[in-house]
Structure 1
């Protein structure tokens, strides 16, 4: 098995009159929730499923709290979470205010081990 993908047509946003081009797009193979992760973790160690779920819930709450404070959240061998901003551009330093922020998003920067996973994937075309 591998990562399933399908061809997806996309229009060039800089030249909408041009013919669309086809790109490989991942077809999701389901999802996994905290409860399932807690169950899997409890099967691999001596911690109970309930304890695992409690830790995962508190981890989520703490990640949110730290990101709201503008901190980078480093999760060891998983990677880092950080808030990123998009804003309007101005010619003068003093013109940049909080109202210039147009959008915020959360970036995840995977660790080297997680990035290396990408070099060992296999792919399967569907549809």
Structure 2
């Protein structure tokens, strides 16, 4: 589902707004639900699935904190990225210039393929 969302032109805020399609979520799935769904599809209990998912989260956080790329096979990769202020020479660049850090997720082929098969409808 998508809705029409007005946006101003950041290059010239005096111009009138234009409307753009914006995806809207249709519910959510949390770790509890994922654990239940995984347990239903295999012989592992729901609590075991939940424990594994929580452990996965802790280990991803720990690895990213150590500067590693986390590769989850066909699922995709997680990596920390930073933005900083620019300087004229490499010697002038230091940690105090970092303005923002974020986690990048690069989906695997099957997840990217999902985007090719999407269909869209306007929300009422």
Shorter-chain TM range is over 0.9
Q: Distance in 2 between matches of 1:27 and 1:34?
A: 21
How many residue pairs are counted as aligned between the two chains? 124
Cα deviations by residue, 1:38-66 (Å, 9 ceiling, x for unpaired): 00000000000000000000000000000
Q: Secondary structure at the match of 1:46?
A: coil
1:20, CA displacement in angstroms? Answer: 1.1
Q: Distance in 1 between matches of 2:123 and 2:22?
A: 10
Query: TM-score, normalising length from structure 1?
Result: 0.95
Query: TM-score, normalising length from structure 2?
Result: 0.98
Q: Distance in 2 between matches of 1:111 and 1:21?
A: 34
Cα deviations by residue, 1:51-88 (Å, 9 ceiling, x for unpaired): 00000000000000000011110111110000010000
Hey, which bits of structure 1, 4+ residues long, moved more than 2 A?
none
Q: Distance in 2 between matches of 1:21 and 1:74?
A: 39
